[in-house]
A and B are shown apart, each in its own frame.
Chain A
Amino acid sequence: MSMAEKEQSGPALRIEGLRKAFSDVQAVDGLDLEVRRGECFGLLGPNGAGKTTTIEICEGLLEPDAGTVELFGLDWKRYAGELRQRIGIQLQETQFPDKLTVEETIRLFRSFYSRGLEQEELIGLMQLEEKRSSRVGGLSGGQKQRLAMATALAGDPELVFLDEPTTGLDPQARRHLWELVEGLKRAGRTIILTTHYMEEAERLCDRVAIMDHGREIALGSPVQLIEMMGGEEIVELGTARAANAGTARAADAEEFVEKLKAIEGVREHTEAEGTHRLAVSGLHSVAPRIFALLEAEGLHLSEFRTHSATLEDVFVRLTGRNLRDE
């Protein structure tokens, strides 16, 4: 494929063998990724998984130790000027000057691009009409984040990077921002976002890569990843021995786990801090059998929860840790 063709039709982003170490941590440890044009791609993982380092290398803000990064088939070394014009970036923790107004901030960033959206369009797109003359210092967290998105869109970018766009926002502001991101998707922009909210990735992303310790540990659409769990429902239960049933023996506990696993429809079992976690299919038939087993064993329920499997469960299954542990 020629350079020009690649630029027209190739992936929006291609990463190969990416590595980056800081003084004592291997932040990114051999990562390969491809992001298609027009898709919303999520980098998912706990804090410290290497998401931000990866995204900043893609944004041309960090130099990788090894590996290649190409945006639209162009590399940062030779095409930095062009790439800067074609991408939009929202960083994790930018604080715009408190004493500038929303309009002034947008106008400043718009002036950096040779072509792009008009100030009014940007304000409209991010629904900042009422706040146009307010100073940045007086904006809420959600409004500040929308302003950051407006500056990211100033150059009418083909590819938008959003680094943890909803971290620290209240649920209402988060949903509002999701709607705005969905608007960008409909307009056909390629979006790459990082998040540690699984819910966010499930709702917004066409595909996600789950990262841990600088590596990709799973890749696919949210639905595919959840199917990987082997069951669509998750059951969490805790047990307590009934008062009149005597003392428990270790062998009893093991036996109980074996009996749980033997129930038809239970695909997987893990146990953490006394809570059993089962991936099941056909909850309606599995649940009565669990209760029957408890009855037969003389055990009481101390907790019982079920939910549809989420990316969070995928992460727990892959790493044995909760996403927000660290």
Chain B
Amino acid sequence: MSNGWAQSLHRSSLFQLTWTRFRLILREPEAIFWIFIFPILLAAGLGIAFRNRPADVLPVGATTAQMAQALNAGGGLRTAVVNEAEGVHQLATGAIVLLAVGEPQGVRYEYDDTNPDGRAARLLADRALEVAAGRRDPLPAADRLVHETGSRYIDFVIPGLLGMNLMGSAMWGLGFSIVEARQKKLLKRMVASPMPRWQYLLSFLLSRLTMLVIEVAVFLSFARVAFGVPFRGSLWQLGVLCVLTSLAFSALGLLVASRARTMEAVSGLMNLAMLPMWILSGVFFSAARFPAVVQPFVRALPLTAAIDAMRGNMLQGLGLGQMLGPVAILLAWFVVPFGVSLKIFRWR
């Protein structure tokens, strides 16, 4: 019974087409690198570059032991006792960022006010000395330090990288394979057989969705294990978003590849389509930073919608119902380009 089922699957042209796509991807070492390894390397690199370090302790100098003791007690500063000439020399060579010189009436600070560390040291030192001299703050203040997961740069950038990766693999995967098949006259050979044309296109979407499961699982597991990136929203909804994103970019890839006859032509079109999104869609920094005039354009891009929705899900725990805007934009980017490419697709 199960044998008969396996045999009819084996005979199914849709299965054979999809399985062929899958085979061809797996036999392309470069594709494996760009789809699976590259995003992980990028995430690892960014994670290391932007890892959270303990707050810096600033080196300063003081001309009296009494002042040095008061400065060290204030926190955030590491104070050495120096005479004035020595201190000026250390300041000039960057060994210390501020020198506190005791004066008969009080204290004089020497520092470079264009150096942020110098200014920070000035504030810390002054507060420490004033408090030591008996100042009482009229307004009680308390600090709560925020280092929690979900607000770090790596948490912000992971959904961005995920979106960018889904865009790249869908567009390159579809665009290049289709144009290559057209250039090598394979497409023409296929339509000279009784193969249903819709099955050929559907096989690309199906193999893409299969790859997607592996691709997303590998990348997000890495983000979880290596950086503890949070998943505050529902995982199945995140899955739905990934599928929707991938479908939208597959449709766009199909559109870009629907007429092009050469690899050069499709590469150009592909970059033309993706470049605005690399820049504007907020992969590495928030898209909200662009001026208000261009915001409607930025918001309408599929990658912006995808990344916004993924950040909403992963970082804020929003449900799909709370992100109808981005979801609708992604759906539109799936339906419209797919419909147009079916109309204008060049089969020869």
Measured in the bound complex, the distance between the Cα atoms of B186 and A99 in whole Å is 14
Does any Cβ of A come within 8 Å of B16's Cβ?
A: yes
Residue A91 interfacial (CB < 8 Å): yes
B28 touches A61 (CB 8 A): no
Given that A91-B192, A99-B28, A100-B24 are known contacts, is A111 also in contact with B12, CB under 8 Å in the complex?
yes
Q: Which residues on the B side are within 8 Å of A96 (C-beta)?
A: 186, 189
Pick from A84, A89, A94, A107 the residue with the most CB of B within 10 Å. A94
B184 & A109 in contact (Cβ 8 Å cutoff): no
**Complex: how many Å from CA A93 to CA B183?**
10
Please determine whether A61 and B188 come into contact, CB atoms closer than 8 angstroms.
yes
- B13 and A111 contact, CB distance less than 8 A: yes
A95 contacts B by Cβ under 8 Å: yes
CB-defined contacts of B11 to chain A, threshold 8 Å: 111
- A89 x B194 contact (CB < 8 A): no
Interface size on A, residues (CB 8 A): 27
Complex CA gap A99/B28 in Å reads 8
Interface 0/1 of B1-35, CB less than 8 Å to A? 00000000011110111001001100110000000
Mark interface residues in B32-53 (1 if CB within 8 Å of A CB, else 0). 0000000000000000000000
CA distance A60 to B347 in the complex (A): 13
A89 B16 Cβ-Cβ under 8 A: no
The answer, yes or no, to whether B152 is at the interface (CB within 8 Å) is no
Taking CB atoms and an 8 Å cut-off, the chain A residues in 193-225 that contact chain B are none
The 8 Å CB contact of A108, one of B17, B188, B192, is B17
Give bound CA distance, A91 to B191, whole Å: 11
Establish whether residues A111 and B192, one from each chain, have CB atoms under 8 Å apart when the complex forms: no
Query: Contact between B24 and A111 (Cβ–Cβ < 8 Å)?
Result: no
Query: Contact check: which of A59, A92, A111 meets B16 at CB < 8 Å?
Result: A111
Residues of B within 8 A of A89 (CB): 189, 192-193
Inter-chain contact B194/A81, CB cutoff 8 Å:
yes
Give the chain A neighbours of B16 by CB distance below 8 A: 107-108, 111
- Asked whether A134 is an interface residue with its Cβ less than 8 Å from the other chain, the reply is no
Residues of B143-200 at the interface with A, using a CB-CB cut-off of 8 Å, are 184-186, 188-189, 191-195
Q: Which of B24, B193, B348: most chain A CB closer than 10 A?
A: B193
Asked whether, in the complex, the Cβ of B186 is within 8 Å of the Cβ of A112, the reply is no
CA distance A104 to B16 in the complex (A): 9
Q: When A104-B20, A112-B195, A113-B193 are in contact, do A94 and B13 touch as well, CB less than 8 Å?
A: no
A113–B11 Cα distance when bound, in Å, is 9
Give per-residue flags for B271-285: 1 if the beta carbon is below 8 A from chain A beta carbons, else 0: 000000000000000
A84 to chain B: closest residue by CB: B194
Shortest CB–CB separation between residue B32 and chain A, in angstroms? 13
In the complex where A108-B17, A112-B13 touch, is A99 in contact with B23 (Cβ < 8 A)? yes
Query: Which A residues touch B28, using CB under 8 A?
Result: 99
How far does the Cβ of A228 sit from chain B's closest Cβ, in whole Å? 35
Complex Cα gap A151–B192 (Å): 11
Residues in A neighbouring B13, C-beta threshold 8 A: 111-112
Would B184 and A95 count as touching, CB distance under 8 A? yes
- Is there contact, CB below 8 Å, between B20 and A100? yes
Asked if A97 is an interface residue, CB under 8 A from chain B, the answer is yes
In the complex formed, the residue of B with least CB distance to A59 is B192
| Complex Cα spacing A37 to B16, Å | 33
Mask, A49-80, CB within 8 Å of B = 1, is 00000000001110000000000000000000
Task: Kindly identify which residue among A91, A93, A99, A113 contacts B24, using a CB–CB cutoff of 8 Å.
Answer: A99
Assembled-state Cα–Cα distance A204/B27 (Å):
40
A155 within 8 A of B: yes
What B residues does A84 contact at CB under 8 A? 192-194
Q: In the assembly, what is the distance between CA of A89 and CA of B186, in Å?
A: 12
21 pairs of residues in contact across A and B, judged by CB atoms under 8 Å: A59-B192, A60-B192, A84-B192, A84-B193, A89-B192, A89-B193, A91-B192, A94-B185, A94-B188, A94-B189, A95-B186, A96-B189, A99-B24, A99-B28, A100-B24, A104-B20, A107-B10, A108-B17, A112-B13, A112-B194, A112-B195
Pick the 4 closest A-B CB pairs, nearest first. Answer: A95-B184, A84-B194, A111-B16, A99-B27
Extra inter-chain contacts (6) besides given A84-B194, A109-B193, A114-B194, CB under 8 Å = A92-B185, A94-B186, A94-B189, A97-B24, A111-B15, A112-B194
